[in-house]
Structure 1
Amino acid sequence: MLNKETETRLSKFMTKLLRHTPGAYGLVLDPTDGSYRLDKLHSVIRSQPNWSRVTIEDIEQVVKSCEKQRFEIKDGRIRARYGHSHDKVQYEPGTPPDSLYHGTNTHAAPTIMSEGIRPMGRQYVHLSEGTHFATLAGKRRGELVILSVDTRKAAAAGTRFYYAGNEVWLADSVPPSCCAIFTNTKEEEGNE
């Protein structure tokens, strides 16, 4: 079993392999879902310095323990569910809940409120069904701001939504008129 520090390092390396630079390591991901054979990924990881002792069980531990649920193993294949910056992975369009959430920071929020949510170097905008994943994503780069997205209004404006799994939804972009700064009135009432 991996310790937490090694697990985090392996997760970051798997992110690099499956989301950002697969070609640099000789990986050719399935163009329909971005998956790769787990046994082959294991071989690629083991061929790298400092990773020669990694087991398939270690990779499975990373998948199960990742708080953001970035990865999925299914039928002997592994994939990153979202966050790709290489070739565009295709997802089936879906109908999301009426509201989705996007985590950002106080620096980016004014731009988003005037220009909308854009992928900014990724293939899709990432949205979540609850505020937990939005909080994890938004707090990395400064003071957290959570935006709520009116998905019905966005769909009427032409936005297509795609389900990536585990409460994560993707969109090409979201118009500013469909975004609002989210405030949780229940928490505010509890703090008074």
Structure 2
Amino acid sequence: MPSLSKAMCFILRHHPEKFGIVLDEKGYCLISDVALAFQSQEAYRDVTERDIEREVRECPKQRFEIHGNQIRCRYGHSALAVSYSLEEPPVILLHGTHEGAISSIRKEGLHPMGRQYVHLSEDLHFASMAGKRRGKLVLLEVEALKAFQEGISFYRAGEGVWLSASIPPSFMKFKE
């Protein structure tokens, strides 16, 4: 049985329609609808709204957010466009990636690569988690404030997590 977090991503990000879930324009749906979707599956029939809320609180990758009685995938992981408020970022943000991506990033910069946004972090922990998935971790320092001052948009998406559409290589320091 897949983890509850991965199953929630499958439902909310990839196939809400298969579970009778309709996301609003911001990617939200009722937590109760997600619980019902789980309960319709034999392997998850005992999942409750409290289980879902606990998973959101305890998920180290902060994949989800709850507002009132609604839930959505964070960081542009929704099937719909997820929007955040434009904010001034810290001086430096980190991006975790893998060795195989470095030559492309040096030439073209960071791009969402099938997501809605590039994911950045204020701390080493989150950047490391993101970068370790596909090989040897490489951390990039992004001169976020400088990029912001030169017209690159940044959005705060959660505790220590930032998003941007694309970042040119001129705003990066490669730490290999």
- On whether the aligned pair clears a TM of 0.5, the verdict is yes
Instruction: Map residues 48-67 of structure 1 onto 2, 5 A cutoff.
Output: 48-67=41-60
Structure 1 gaps of 5+ residues are 1-5, 184-192
CA contact (8 A) 2:63 2:73 kept: yes
Q: Report the Cα distance in structure 2 between the residues aligned to 1:64 and 1:170, rounded to whole angstroms.
A: 20
Task: Single out whichever of 85-94 and 138-147 deviates more from structure 2.
Answer: 85-94
Q: Which of residues 121, 125, 129 is equivalent to 2:118?
A: 125
SS in 2 for 1:108: helix
Q: Report the Cα distance in structure 1 between the residues aligned to 2:107 and 2:149, rounded to whole angstroms.
A: 19
CA contact (8 A) 1:103 1:146 kept: yes
- Superposed CA RMSD in Å reads 1.7
Aligned length: 176
Aligned counterpart, 1:111:
104
Q: Which of residues 78, 86, 95 is equivalent to 2:79?
A: 86
Q: Is 1:24 the equivalent of 2:21? A: no
Structure 2 gaps of 5+ residues are none
Aligned-pair CA distance for 1:148? 0.8
Aligned counterpart, 1:42:
35
Q: Report the Cα distance in structure 2 between the residues aligned to 1:24 and 1:160, rounded to whole angstroms.
A: 34
> What is the TM-score normalised by the length of structure 2?
0.92
Q: Report the Cα distance in structure 2 between the residues aligned to 1:111 and 1:153, rounded to whole angstroms.
A: 22
CA contact (8 A) 1:31 1:90 kept: no
- The percent of aligned pairs where both chains have the same amino acid is 48
The one-letter code of the counterpart of 1:144 is L
Task: Single out whichever of 12-21 and 137-146 deviates more from structure 2.
Answer: 12-21
